[in-house]
Amino acid sequence: MRYQVPIAAPYLLSVSVPTLVDANGVRWCNELWAKDLRLHTEYLTNLTVIAPRIFGEPSASDMPIEIEGLHFVDLPAPRNHFEAVRILPATISMVWSAVSRSAIVHTGFGGWPIAEGWVVTPIAKLRRRFLITNVESSFWRVPRTASLIRRARAAVAERLNRGCVSLADLRLFTSKAYAREFLGDKQTRAHVISATWINDDWVLNRDQARTAWETKRGPVRLLFAGRLIEDKGVQILLRAISDLRGKVVITIIGEGPLKDACKASPANVLDPMPYGEPFLELVRGYDAVLIPSLSHEQPRLIFDAFSQAVPVIGSATGGIAEIVEHMTSGVLVAPGRADSLREVILWAAHNRDRLRTMGIAARASCQRFTHLEMHRRRYAILLASLDGYRPVTLQSNARRC
């Protein structure tokens, strides 16, 4: 047992990621989510996940999930806004019951079209439960050029999310930028924990890192891997490389509405591949990864690259700039500036030795950003935050139900 004092109080984790039940009644979920839940249960011995459930056949990236101490409450999964409103009373009733049986309630804001935190937070406060909120992205935000309806929806979501975070007993964020935006200078009961999926044994040692760089020959090769959408800076990247054919090798991996535009660019476009060691082996063959993101979200690709001694060329947004050290473990450029990104790509094309030095430095910093270390930090924060908390409220409130 890695944790001497596991948390035994009934813990409710509310998430938007659905689980899938097949024709034989077997429950499946994405293999990364299963990996995360398994580590959760090593220090949360009475964990219940409340999430949407869908029926169907699993994909190649799914795995059956059956973990001791893990229970599920299945919410209906809406297919559109109308259905989400129609099933809202039933959803509220199920959440009320699940919260009433829990002492600690943990929620986020990833649900569509109604974020799970909007339902869970007021119920948890009414039931006087210990409430934890987690902000790991800001997908609801839209550019100023968006339609009036989209901007109105974004404004409502922003206000609701901020209200929920303000009520929480413990506020978790995946970047310092999110913590500043939501809490300003009064960051009480708040902690920043980077989201990473790297296994400890995936991180190259020093000899492996040197060997990987010794095999890199020919033109400098740069990789973008992610969703092909505007928020990931794909359009900025395409403008930056529009006239760089023959000067540097660019590879783009992903799916999304901008895939056709990527295929029309000088880049090589590949289909996504399953996450894990094969993907990391692919990353290892490049000289740097490109992350021209426009949001403060902290892409996991940073840690993927660092684990393989590969530096990052990324936007100086909050989520990236607090991990990538400029000219030490990568290069930071102004967000949304295709001209600046183009200059750095041209610089990289003639400076493989500098990229190698940055990559070696990035690898050295990666050990503190593994998936297991993330859970160790989360456990320590939970233990400290719950110090003095007694889940007697659960029993007394339960008698009044």
Q: What is each CA distance from 31 to 2, 36, 66, 193, 299, in whole angstroms?
A: 22, 9, 12, 21, 18
Tally of structural domains, the chain: 2
97 and 237 in a common domain: no
Nearest Cα neighbor of 345 from 288, 277, 271 is 288
Q: Is the pLDDT of residue 392 over 70?
A: no
Pick from 158-162, 255-259, 271-275, 322-326: least confident: 271-275
Instruction: State the pLDDT confidence band at 112, using cuts at 50, 70 and 90.
Output: confident
Q: Is the pLDDT of residue 191 over 70?
A: yes
219 and 176 in a common domain: no
172 and 56 in a common domain: yes
Instruction: State the pLDDT confidence band at 396, using cuts at 50, 70 and 90.
Output: very low
CB 332 within 8 A of CB 321: yes
Q: What is the CATH number of the domain that holds 312?
A: 3.40.50.2000
Q: Is the pLDDT of residue 393 over 60?
A: no
Nearest Cα neighbor of 108 from 136, 81, 74 is 136
The whole-angstrom separation of Cα 401 and Cα 379 is: 31
Category of 284 on φ-ψ map: left (φ > 0), alpha (ψ -120 to 50) or beta: alpha
CB 173 within 8 A of CB 190: yes
71 and 147 in a common domain: yes
% of the chain surpassing 70 pLDDT: 97
pLDDT value for 240: 97
**Burial grade of 393 (CB within 10 A; 0-12, 13-18, 19 or more):** middle
The residue range of the domain holding 38 is 11-196+371-400
228 and 323 in a common domain: yes
Domain membership of residue 385 (yes or no) is: yes
Domain membership of residue 330 (yes or no) is: yes
186 and 111 in a common domain: yes
The mean pLDDT of 41-46, rounded to a whole number, is 95
The mean pLDDT of 372-382, rounded to a whole number, is 94
The mean pLDDT of 202-229, rounded to a whole number, is 96
187 and 166 in a common domain: yes
The per-residue pLDDT for range 325-360, each reduced to its tens digit, is: 999 999 999 999 999 999 999 999 999 999 999 999
114 and 261 in a common domain: no
Domain membership of residue 5 (yes or no) is: no
Nearest Cα neighbor of 131 from 96, 168, 94 is 168
The residue ranges of DSSP E strands in 231-364, in sequence order, are 249-253, 268-270, 288-291, 312-315, 330-333
- Return the structure tokens found at 187: 């960051």
The mean pLDDT of 131-136, rounded to a whole number, is 96
Sequence-ordered list of residues with C-beta below 8 angstroms from that of 9, at least 6 positions apart, any chain: 46, 103, 104, 386, 391, 394
Domain membership of residue 111 (yes or no) is: yes
Compute φ and ψ for 32, nearest 5 degrees. -70, -40
Q: Is the pLDDT of residue 268 over 50?
A: yes
- DSSP string covering 4-58: SS-B-S-EEEE-SPPEEE-TTS-EEEEHHHHHHHHHHTTTBSSEEEEEEEEES--
Distance of CA 23 to the CA centre of its chain: 30
234 and 92 in a common domain: no
The mean pLDDT of 6-13, rounded to a whole number, is 94
Q: What is each CA distance from 363 to 169, 205, 280, 358, 380, in whole angstroms?
A: 35, 8, 13, 9, 25
Domain membership of residue 173 (yes or no) is: yes
386 and 301 in a common domain: no
Instruction: State the pLDDT confidence band at 400, using cuts at 50, 70 and 90.
Output: very low
The per-residue pLDDT for range 301-312, each reduced to its tens digit, is: 999 999 999 999
Domain membership of residue 263 (yes or no) is: yes
Nearest Cα neighbor of 284 from 371, 210, 357 is 210
- 101-169-52 Cα angle (round to 5): 50
For residue 113, cis peptide bond before it (omega within 30 degrees of 0) = yes
Mean pLDDT of the chain: 92
The whole-angstrom separation of Cα 32 and Cα 384 is: 27
Q: What is the four-CA torsion angle of 209, 215, 216, 217, rounded to 10 degrees? A: 160
338 and 378 in a common domain: no
Q: Taking the model in full, what pTM does it have?
A: 0.90
- Return the structure tokens found at 298: 């902290």
- Return the structure tokens found at 248: 């540097």
Q: Is the pLDDT of residue 390 over 80?
A: no
Q: Is the pLDDT of residue 244 over 50?
A: yes
Domain membership of residue 4 (yes or no) is: no
Sequence-ordered list of residues with C-beta below 8 angstroms from that of 69, at least 6 positions apart, any chain: 41, 44, 45, 46, 47
Span between the terminal Cα atoms of the chain, in Å: 36
Instruction: State the pLDDT confidence band at 368, using cuts at 50, 70 and 90.
Output: confident
273 and 178 in a common domain: no
Domain membership of residue 3 (yes or no) is: no
